[in-house]
Structure formats: structure tokens, C-alpha cells
Structure 1
């Protein structure tokens, strides 16, 4: 009398069902890795391309160099902001905001110094800098602004120099995305039986080449 506890189709069908379940469980990691690899690559395509191209312009700055452009401006601000014997009461906020609004000075304030009869303010941003000299007696000021060109802006963005906290977050996100793209690529390779061995040989060769360059040519 047949065993009523066996699934329809007998033991052979049960074996096939178990094998199908195991096969499906093996495919899940590679499917997820492929999905992440494709869509993370698309999401981060522009920013990864940006860092790739600017890596070249940064490494060969002499190829793309341009003469800095210097621009001078003069003006006068409220003398009460600077003409105070108590230097702690010099109105730094109003001075900086006035220069930004009136003279379109860009960048963050890297230095604000009060030195006797003068106040000096330095602004720095990607690819440009501005130095401001203010006479504390009458409020007259002079701005010397230097622009180093588009390539300098791109190079500073690559390095994260004088770019502020927001761009720093972009760099962190880019680093995470590039790491995930690399890791998902390796996971996918682990499930490619025909290409796995060759892939890991090339991966090892790449590691050895980088180590060799560092050990023999740089150290």
C-alpha cells in the first residue's frame, strides 16, 4: 500500500523539489549582487566618471595649466564695524556678509586677522582665493581675487580642498558606492564557474602589480 505521507509523484519529485530550493537559495546572492552592481553603477555613473577624469587632470596638472587671473576691487564699508578699540567687538559677521553681497566674494573664510590699524580677511574656495585688506580708520578696503581656472576648480573638488562639508559628504557617498560596486562585482564572479578562476587570477595579478609598483618604485 503506497505511503500517504509522500508527496504526489513519489520520492523523485521530493528530491527535485529539494534541489530546486537549494538552487534558488544559491541564486539569490548573485541576483542581488547583479541588481546592486547594475543600478549602483548607473546611479553613480556621473560622479564616478568625474573622479576618474579629475584623477587624470590632477595627476598631470602641468598638461592643463592656465595662467591665474587676478582681479582687484575697492570699496568702503561701515567704519563702525572695524573702528573700535576693543578688537573683540569688531563686527566680523557683518563685514563678511557685506563683502559677499557687495563684491560677490566666494569661498569660506580661512582667516580673519586684526592687526593694529588693519583688518585682513582671506577667502578660499575651489580654484580661487580672495584677500581683503580693510583700513580700520576709515573703512576703505581693497580686494585681490585670484582665479586659477576651471581645471583648478575640478582638481580642488577632487581633493575636497576648500569645498565645505556638503561636498565632503558627496566624496564619502562616492567612496561607499565605488566600494559596493567593486564588492558586488567580486560576489558575481564567485558564482561564474567558467570565469571564476581566470577572474581571481587577474584580481591577484592586479594586487601584485600595485604592490610591486609601491614596493620597488615608490618606497
Structure 2
């Protein structure tokens, strides 16, 4: 294989991987870049939390069953399936299989989520169920997606895959720069500036 044929092969391969990886991570890069700005100016972006509170009453039969199953010893365990189904039907609350805190007189379940928070409490004496949901708007929601905060396993996997696509995009871009650098004399000085500027800022202004 001649040098020109080898160069043409690698150029074609690198261009293919470069555009595929850029297509895969395009929307993610736009979102993560935008939320990088909003996170950097989080103190300047006002957000008025919206709080929704709901109160309901457990059926006596369900309360009796929970009281008999729960026991008095403090522990951590998921809510019973019947209670989860009731919460979904009556309050549109997805409790899932996360552990709740069981005590002698109450069950407390924390339900954190991106862009807000929620909690649920069941009074084991009266059967009263109290649910509170706090939302902080779309900016807070997207910021939490950026950080992977309270987003679950699937989103964390997406972030890992997205980061891998960004690495492929960046590294193939670097190799393409190298292959075209002979006819573009400003290539390496510009790349050097991209390294030097953040390094100097970190050394001089971050303490």
C-alpha cells in the first residue's frame, strides 16, 4: 500500500468516525454547554420553587395490614406493593422500590428528583398520608441532568456513553488536524493556545 493510498484510507476512516461521533453527541453537547453556563451563573438565575402538597387517608384494611407487617423496630425497607399501587392510583405518586424509613409511628420516604424534591409520610396511627412535591423549574431540571443528580442508572449510563462519543469526536478531530497541519500553519499554534489559556487561567486566577 503506497503512502498516498494509506493516507487516503486513514482520512476516510477518521472522517467517518468524526461525523458519526459528532452526530451522536451533538444534542448532548449543546445541552451540556448551555447548562455549563447556567451552572456557572446559578446564583444569578432566580428560581421560585413551586410546592404542591397532598393529603390522603389510607383504607382501614390497608392500614391494619401495614401495622401488622411493619413491626415496631426502626428499619429501612421498600413500601409494600399494595401501598405502592394505592399511592400510584390515588396520588399519582411513583414510590418505586427505594427504601423507606420505618419507625414505630411513621413511614417516611424521600423522593429526590432532578429539578426538585419530594417526600412522603404515612402516619401509622391515623393512616394519614402526606405528600409534598417541590419543583424549581426547567433550568434547575437541566442543571441536575448535567450533574447526574438524582437521575437514576439509565441517565448515568447515557452520560458515560455520551462522554465516550465526545472523546471519539475530539480524538478523531485531533488526528484530522495532524493530517491537515502541513498545509495549515496556524493549526498547532491555535491548538497550543487552547491548552495554554486554560492552564494560565487556572494557575493565575484559581486559588
The alignment's TM-score, normalised by the length of structure 1, stands at 0.81
* Residue 46 of structure 1: aligned partner: 27
Counterpart among 44, 61, 66 of residue 42 in structure 2:
61
Counterpart among 118, 121, 136 of residue 130 in structure 1:
118
> Hey, what's the Cα distance between the residues in 2 that align with 1:149 and 1:40?
31
> Hey, what's the Cα distance between the residues in 2 that align with 1:89 and 1:42?
44
Which range moved further: 84-93 or 186-195?
84-93
Q: Which residues of 2 match residues 95-174 of structure 1 at below 5 A?
A: 95-105=83-93, 112-174=100-162
Is 1:180 the counterpart of 2:164? The answer is: no
Contact 1:130 1:146 in 2 (8 A): yes
Unpaired stretches in structure 2, ≥5 consecutive residues: none
The alignment's TM-score, normalised by the length of structure 2, stands at 0.85
**Does the residue aligned with 1:161 lie in a helix, a strand or coil?**
coil
Distance 1:216 1:173, change over 3 A: same
Distance 1:201 1:107, change over 3 A: farther
**Does the residue aligned with 1:142 lie in a helix, a strand or coil?**
strand
> Hey, what's the Cα distance between the residues in 2 that align with 1:151 and 1:160?
14
> Hey, what's the Cα distance between the residues in 2 that align with 1:186 and 1:71?
50
Structure of larger gyration radius = 1
Contact 2:77 2:100 in 1 (8 A): no
Query: What is the Cα-based RMSD across aligned positions, in Å?
Result: 2.4
Query: Higher relative contact order at CA 8 Å, sep ≥6: structure 1 or structure 2?
Result: 2
Distance 1:217 1:106, change over 3 A: farther
> Hey, what's the Cα distance between the residues in 2 that align with 1:92 and 1:140?
15
Is 1:75 the counterpart of 2:56? The answer is: yes
Unpaired stretches in structure 1, ≥5 consecutive residues: 1-17
Distance 1:132 1:117, change over 3 A: same
Residues 177-200 of structure 1, C-alpha deviations (whole Å, 9 max, x = no match)? 1111111111111111111x4212
Residues 151-206 of structure 1, C-alpha deviations (whole Å, 9 max, x = no match)? 111111111000000000110111011111111111111111111x4212211221
Shift of 1:147: 0.9
